[in-house]
Amino acid sequence: MKDFAYVSAQDVATAVRAIAEPGAKFLGGGTNLVDLMRQNIERPDTVIDITRLPLDRVEELPDGGVRIGALVRNSHLAAHRVIRTRYPMLAQAILTGASGQLRNMATVGGNVLQRTRCPYFADLAARCNKREPGAGCDAIGGFNRNAAIFGASDSCVATHPSDMCVALAALDATIELESVRGVRRLPLVGFHMLPGDSPQHETAIAADELITAIELPELPVAARSRYRKVRDRASYAFALVSVAAALEVRDGVITEARLALGGVAARPWRAHAAERALMGGPATEERFRLAADAELEGAVAQSQNAFKIELAGRAITATLRQLQVEGSAA
């Protein structure tokens, strides 16, 4: 591991000033930053410790929404009464990720900024455009069972690993960023970027910005929501496909729907086509299948992951069916 300077920030102002220092190399933190430093994949000049910042609270907002500080631990958020009752898909998503020990340490901001687990990104002997722009992508034509089926490019087929972010995308979450220039807010669905020709650019965060919070709007439909994760083993595994869904049905007709997919793209994939296909239709198995087909019409498989397209369709249908029959089961 390369030598680096260590800065302990006592408040947000100190942290953003340190990030904005001329010549500073910004990495953006992330749950697996230290792992990548040990592997010499990330080599920062300075590491800024922000654990003492007052960003560890979950607060109800006057407009009915919820503000989640960037340093709230994943386990605390999943256990919070407001999250469990008003946004159950978020609590469920967090509890499917990693292990209890990791959830006790991982933060909301770190989860959002974690890097891909594509094996070629972590292998210095492999070609990876995300790690070394212009080098090529060995996942294309290589071992790509876990690769993207949406939004991939000739430069990169990696997926985003977060479960939490899939639920946040379905919930219309907003991410708050702070710098010496002020505060700005972005929809979480636009925060993570598709690879295009520059997969090294993964998020919309600027070089001098710090994530300070995630905000959830008041969303009554979210009280009836679920998160389903399909993976190779029951725990401590990343999703092949995951589904975050919320559904409101009145007199047998779908009046509101939220749907997002994980494990299928370089960002949490908001399933807008499926949502449109659901709205105003009957809450039936046939309609659920039609909605899944509408979303997956644009899916493109790699050499080893065509199964993910059918798997995603089945997961969407099963999640919606379970919501219709059983509710959220927070």
Residues 156-183, buried b or exposed e (16+ Cβ, 10 A)? bbbbbbbbbbbbbbbbbbbbbbbbeeee
The Cα–Cα gap between 314 and 317 comes to 5
The Cα–Cα gap between 30 and 202 comes to 12
The Cα–Cα gap between 320 and 244 comes to 10
The Cα–Cα gap between 206 and 177 comes to 9
- Computed over every residue of the chain, the mean pLDDT equals 93
Looking at residue 26, what is its pLDDT?
Answer: 47
Q: Write down the CATH number for the domain with range 224-329.
A: 3.30.390.50
Surface-to-core class of residue 56, CB atoms within 10 Å of its CB (0-12 exposed, 13-18 middle, 19+ buried): middle
The backbone torsions φ and ψ at residue 210, rounded to the nearest 5 degrees and listed phi first, read -125, 135
Looking at residue 38, what is its pLDDT?
Answer: 87
Q: Looking at the domain 5-49, which fold is it?
A: 3.30.43
DSSP 169-207: HHTT-EEEEEETTEEEEEEGGGTB---TT-TT--BS--T
Name the residue with tokens 């709205």. Answer: 279
Q: Provide the sign of the torsion angle of the four alpha carbons 58, 90, 218, 12, taken in this order.
A: positive
Phi-psi region of 107 (alpha: psi -120 to 50; beta: other; left: phi over 0): beta
Which helix (H) or strand (E) element contains residue 308?
helix 307-326
pTM given for the model: 0.94
Looking at residue 19, what is its pLDDT?
Answer: 77
For the stretch 26-40, pLDDT in tens is: 445 677 888 888 888
For the stretch 192-233, pLDDT in tens is: 999 999 999 999 999 889 999 999 999 999 999 999 999 999
The Cα–Cα gap between 316 and 45 comes to 44
Q: What percent of the chain shows pLDDT beyond 70?
A: 96
Q: What percent of the chain shows pLDDT beyond 90?
A: 79
Answer yes or no: are the C-beta atoms of 108 and 100 closer than 8 Å. no
Answer yes or no: are the C-beta atoms of 162 and 111 closer than 8 Å. yes
95: amino acid identity, one letter: L
Q: Where are the domains of the chain?
A: 5-49, 224-329
Looking at residue 27, what is its pLDDT?
Answer: 47
217: amino acid identity, one letter: P
